[in-house]
């Protein structure tokens, strides 16, 4: 019997209302940053980055897209 070890690395982010969101970096397809002018068509409140996932969902987080990229890189390095 061969045992397979599956390691799932999740990135912990935060929604505009403060709740924690754990995302699998491999499911992130695109990220859209908030505009500095504050006139964001897709982001409201304290959201700074909108993340699209491979299952068609959108997640708005308070972290900037640069911070999300850094968290993804850190997660990849720890594998």
- Cα(74)–Cα(41) distance, integer angstroms: 30
- pLDDT value, residue 4: 61
Copy the structure tokens of residue 18: 């403060």
pTM: 0.81
At 70, give phi and psi (nearest 5°). Answer: -65, -40
- pLDDT value, residue 39: 72
Q: Which of 50, 57, 39, 66 is nearest to 15 (CA)?
A: 50
Distance between the two ends of the chain, CA-based, in angstroms?
25
| Minimum mean pLDDT range among 4-13, 16-25, 50-59 | 4-13
């Amino acid at each position: 019997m061969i045992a397979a070890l599956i390691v799932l690395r999740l990135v912990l982010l935060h929604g505009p209302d403060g709740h924690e969101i754990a995302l699998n970096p491999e499911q992130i397809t695109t990220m859209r940053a908030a505009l500095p002018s504050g006139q964001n068509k897709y982001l409201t409140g304290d959201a700074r980055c909108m993340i699209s996932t491979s299952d068609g969902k959108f997640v708005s987080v308070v972290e900037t897209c640069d911070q999300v990229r850094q968290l993804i890189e850190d997660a990849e390095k720890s594998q």
